[in-house]
Chains A and B, each alone.
Chain A
Amino acid sequence: MALIEIHDLHAAVHGKPILRGVSLSIAPGEVHAIMGPNGAGKSTLSNIIAGRPDYEITGGSITYENRDLLALAPEERAAAGIFLAFQYPVEIPGVTTTTFLKAALNAQRKARGEGEVDVMQFLKLIREKTQQLGVSDDMLKRPLNVGFSGGEKKRTEVLQMAVLEPRFAVLDETDSGLDIDALKIVAGGVNALRSATRAFLVITHYQRLLDSIIPDYVHVLAGGRIVRSGTRELALELEATGYAPFGQGSAP
C-alpha cells in the first residue's frame, strides 16, 4: 500500500503548464530521489505536495494515507505528517528559532487533539536534535533564518523535520550550498529518521547526496514529466551523461 500516490498530475502557474502528467507511488519505508535539470518542475511538485496556493491543478490527483491530499489546507497536511524542507527557506524576523519550533510543534499537537508540549521536555528534545545536527545555541536564539548562511538555513530545515517527525518528508535541494561536512550532517539527520513507517522524497541536483542517503528509487523529472525511473545506478549514469539525453540543459 502506498503512503502517497501521485497520479497523472497536471499543474500550471498563471495558465502556463508546468507539470504535465506526473505519476509516482511511494510506500512507507522508502526513499525516492528526483533529479532533473533546472526548471523541470521539481520545486513545483514539492510545493504542490505541501499545498502552496499559487498553483492551479489542471488534472490528476494525490492520495495520501487514503485521503485526497489536494483537498487539505497546508496546515492540515502538516498535521497529517507532511513536511517540506524548502529550497529557499523563508526568513522570519522577530521569531526566534526556538519560539518557531515550539509554535509549530504545538500547532500540530493541537490539530491532532494533543495537549501542549511540556516545556522541559521540549527543551530536552531540542537539545538532543541540535547536537545531532550541529545547530548552535546561538542559531536557536536568533530569529529564524535571519542572517543565517545557506548551510545554516538548510540545517535548520532538517532540525525542524527532526523535531516535527513527519511521516512523509520532501527535501527540495536541501544539499545545495552545503560543503561536504554539512552534507554529511544533513544526511545523518535524514538517515536517523528513516523507518519502516516513514517515507522521503529527496530532490537533488547532485548524485553525491545519494552516496549518503541511499535511495530505493531514482526518477528523472524533465519538462514536467517523469521521463525515467530506476534504482541508484540511474543517479550514477546521470552523473556521467548529464540531462542532455532528456532534451533539457546539461549536468551540473
Chain B
Amino acid sequence: MTPAGTPDMLSFLDHRGPQTAALPAWVADFRAAGLARYQTLGGVPTPKVEAWKYTNLRPLTALPWRPATGEDVALRVLPTDGLLSIAGPRLVLVNGRFAPHLSSPLPDGVEGEPLAEALLNDSGGLEGLLPTPANAPAMAALNAAWLGHGLVVRFAAGVDAGLPVHVVQIFAPAPDGAPVLAHPFLMVLAEAGCRATVIESHIGRAPAFVNGVCALHIETGASLFHVLAQSGSPETNAIGYATATVAKGGSYRRFTLTTGLGLVRNELAVTLAGAGAECHLYGAYTADGRRHVDNTLMVDHAAPATLSRQVFKGVLDDQGRGVFQGRIGVHPGAQKSDGHQLHKALLLSPKSEVDCKPELEIYADDVKCSHGATTGEMDEDTLFYLRTRGLDIPTARALLIEAFLDDVIDQATGDAPMVSVAARAMVSAWLASRRERRNQT
C-alpha cells in the first residue's frame, strides 16, 4: 500500500543504509515495522492531523528529494557557525553520514560510534534501546524505515565528562546539487550518575529535508545538558522527533536555540519515569523571512515528585511563523508532581504569526501545574525612552530583541558561561544579518 500523495517520500526506500545482508536480522524487521507504521498512519501528516495543525509538510514533499549518499561526506572543512566556537570533542555527520575526517577523539568514559557500525557490530544491546516504531508518529516511523546512519553516544556510569561533546550535523550540497533527504538517528545514553553536556548543532548549507530521530536515556541520578543549536540556510528544513526517558533522580536539561533554517519542527517527548526525575526545557528562537519554527513538547510525569519546566521565547519577523505546542501530562499516582510551562512571543511585523497551544492532562490530585503564554509587540514607550537616550530605531529594537531572548538564554545556560556567550553570539549574528538585509532593501 502506498499512502496517497507521498510517492516521493517512498520512492527511494531501497537505497537505504549499509548493505542489508551483513546486518543483524532484527534491523530488517525494525525497518519493516517503521514502514508499516508510516503507512498505517497515512504517510506524511497533513494539517488535518491534530499534532500537525500548524505545520504543513506537504509543500516540501513536492520537491525532487534525493537520499543522501556517502559522497556528500566529502566536505573538507568544519564550519565555525553557531556554537562550534565552544571547545570540546566533535562527532560530525554530513547529511546524516558520519564524517570521520572531521571528527575528533573522545575522552575516557565517553564513547561515540557511528550508527552504521553500531548496527553491524550489534553492540551494547542497541536493539532494546531503540524507540519502538510501532508507537512512533509517522515521520519518526519513516526514519525507522531508513534506520542506518547516525550516531550512538554513551557516557559511562559515574563519569563527569567535562567538556561538552559536540554532535555536529551539517547539511551540505550534494555533488550533483540535488536537494538532499536525510533520516539521521541519534542516541545518547547517559548512564547512572554521570554528568554530561551534548551540544548538537544543525547547520544548514544546502536545500535539504532532514527527518531526524533522537533517543535520549538518562539513567538513575544522571544529569544531561543537551543543547540543540540550529542555524544556516533557510533552504535546509529540519524536522525532528526526540524522546527522553529520565530515570529516578535523573535530570535532563535542554536548550533549543534556533536562529536559522527554513521549516523547523522540534518535537520532544520527555518521560519522567522515576521518582524525583526532572526536566528543564528551554528554547529561544527567531523566525524571519518565511521561516517557520515549531517546538512541540510533551512532558509525562509518570512517577511521583517529578518536576518539569518549559520556558520558550520566540521573535517573529517578516512573514515568520512560530508554533508552540506544550503538553504536560500527569499520570495517576504521580503525586507531588510540579510542572510549569511558559511561552512568550515578540511579534515584530504585522505579517508574522504565532500559534500557541498549551495542554494540561492531569490524572493525580496532589500536583502543581500551570502554564502561561504572552504574545506582544515591541513596547512603544520603551522604544521612545531608548531613542531619547540616543539610540536610533534599529539599534533600540535590536537591544530589546536581544534582551528578550537573553532572559531565556540566562535561565538555560546559567552555569555554562561558554554556552551562554556563544548562544548570545548566535543571536547577535542573526540580528546583524537582519540589519544587513534591511539596509539592502
A and B together in one complex: yes
Expressed in whole angstroms, the Cα–Cα distance for A244 and B406 within the complex equals 51
Shortest C-beta distance, A94 to chain B (Å), equals 3
Interface centre among A82, A104, A164 (most CB of B within 10 A): A104
**B402 & A94 in contact (Cβ 8 Å cutoff):** yes
Provide the residues of chain B in CB contact with A60, threshold 8 Å. none
Report which of A52, A75, A90 forms a contact with B392, defined as CB distance below 8 A: A75
Q: Is B389 an interface residue (CB 8 A)?
A: yes
Instruction: Decide: A53 near B384, CB < 8 A? Known: A92-B403, A95-B403.
Output: yes
- A107 in contact (CB, < 8 A): yes
Give bound CA distance, A93 to B381, whole Å. Answer: 13
The distance in angstroms between the C-alpha atoms of A104 and B402, with both chains bound, is: 16
Instruction: State the Cβ distance, A53 to closest chain B Cβ, in Å.
Output: 7
> Is residue A227 within 8 Å, beta carbon to beta carbon, of the partner chain?
no
CA distance A161 to B379 in the complex (A): 23
Please tell me if the beta carbons of B407 and A90 are within 8 angstroms of each other in the complex.
Answer: no
Q: How far apart sit A77 and B391, CA to CA, in the bound complex (Å)?
A: 11
B403 touches A107 (CB 8 A): no
Nearest chain A CB to B412 CB, angstrom units = 14
Whether B395 contacts A103 by the Cβ 8 Å rule is yes
The reply to whether A107 and B388 contact each other, CB–CB distance below 8 Å, is no
361-394 of chain B: CB within 8 A of chain A: 379, 381-382, 384-393
A86 in contact with B390 (CB, 8 Å): no
* B399 in the interface (beta carbon within 8 A): yes
Residue of B with least CB distance to A163: B389
Find A164's partner among B379, B381, B387, B389 (CB 8 Å cutoff). Answer: B389
**Cross-interface CB contact of A94 among B384, B390, B395, B404, cutoff 8 Å:** B404
B175 to chain A, nearest CB (A): 45
Return the CB mask of A119-160 against B: 1 if under 8 Å, else 0.
000000000000000000000000100000000000000001
Q: How far is the CA of A146 from the CA of B376 in the complex (A)?
A: 19
Across the interface, which residues of A come within 8 angstroms of B381, CB to CB? 90
**8 A Cβ contacts from A147-198 to B:** 160, 164
**CB <8 Å contact, A160 and B389:** yes
If the complex has contacts A90-B381, A90-B382, A107-B395, are A75 and B403 also in contact, measured as CB distance less than 8 A?
no
A108 is an interface residue with CB less than 8 A from chain B: yes
Answer whether residue A74 sits at the interface, using C-beta atoms and an 8 A cutoff: yes
Query: In the bound complex, do residue B403 and residue A90 qualify as a contact, i.e. CB atoms below 8 Å apart?
Result: no
CA of A79 to CA of B391 in the docked complex: distance in angstroms? 9
Task: Among B386, B388, B406, point to the contact of A51 (Cβ < 8 A).
Answer: B388
Q: What total of chain B residues lie within 8 Å of the partner, measured CB to CB?
A: 21
Q: Please determine whether A78 and B399 come into contact, CB atoms closer than 8 angstroms.
A: no
Q: Does A200 touch B at the CB level, under 8 Å? A: no
Assembly CA distance A105 to B391 (angstroms): 9
Residues facing B in A56-101 (CB within 8 A) are: 73-75, 77-79, 82-84, 86, 89-90, 92-95, 100
Q: Is A74's CB under 8 angstroms from B388's CB?
A: yes
Interface size on A, residues (CB 8 A): 30
Evaluate whether A86 and B403 lie within 8 angstroms (CB atoms) in the complex, with A78-B390, A103-B391 already known: no
A92, B382: Cβ atoms closer than 8 Å = yes
CB distance from A66 to the nearest CB of B (A): 21
Min C-beta distance of A161 to chain B, whole Å: 10
Q: Is A111 at the interface (CB under 8 A from chain B)? A: yes
A-B pair number, CB within 8 angstroms: 72
Q: Which of B154-177 contact A (CB under 8 A)?
A: none
A94 to B344, CA, bound (A): 14
- A108 and B406: CB pair below 8 A? no
Contact A50 B388 (CB under 8 A): yes
**Provided the pairs A74-B387, A78-B387, A89-B385 are in contact, do residues A107 and B406 lie with their beta carbons within 8 angstroms?**
no
Q: Closest Cβ of chain B: how far from A142's Cβ, in Å?
A: 13
Chain B residues near A53 (CB-CB < 8 A): 384
Q: In whole angstroms, what is the CA distance A164 to B391 when docked?
A: 13
How many angstroms between the C-alpha atoms of A51 and B389 in the bound complex?
11
**In whole angstroms, what is the CA distance A211 to B201 when docked?**
63
Whether A74 contacts B384 by the Cβ 8 Å rule is yes
Known contacts A53-B384, A74-B384, A104 near B407 by CB under 8 Å: no
B384 touches A52 (CB 8 A): yes
B395 touches A73 (CB 8 A): no
Determine the chain B residues whose CB is within 8 A of the CB of A89 once the complex forms.
Answer: 385
Contact (Cβ within 8 A) B407 A94: yes
> Are A104 and B404 neighbours in the complex by a CB distance under 8 Å?
no
The one of B382, B388, B402, B407 that contacts A78, using a Cβ cutoff of 8 Å: B388
CA distance A42 to B418 in the complex (A): 49
Q: How far is the CA of A235 from the CA of B389 in the complex (A)?
A: 31
Q: Counting chain A CB atoms within 10 Å of each CB, which of B379, B388, B391, B407 scores highest?
A: B388
Sample 20 A-B pairs with CB under 8 A, ordered by A number: A51-B388, A73-B387, A74-B384, A74-B387, A75-B388, A78-B389, A78-B390, A79-B390, A86-B385, A89-B385, A90-B382, A92-B382, A93-B403, A94-B404, A95-B400, A95-B403, A104-B386, A105-B390, A111-B390, A164-B389
Q: A78-B388, A108-B389 are in contact. List 20 more A-B contacts (CB 8 A).
A: A50-B384, A51-B384, A52-B384, A53-B384, A73-B387, A74-B388, A75-B388, A84-B388, A86-B385, A90-B381, A90-B385, A92-B382, A94-B406, A100-B389, A103-B391, A104-B386, A111-B390, A111-B392, A143-B403, A164-B389
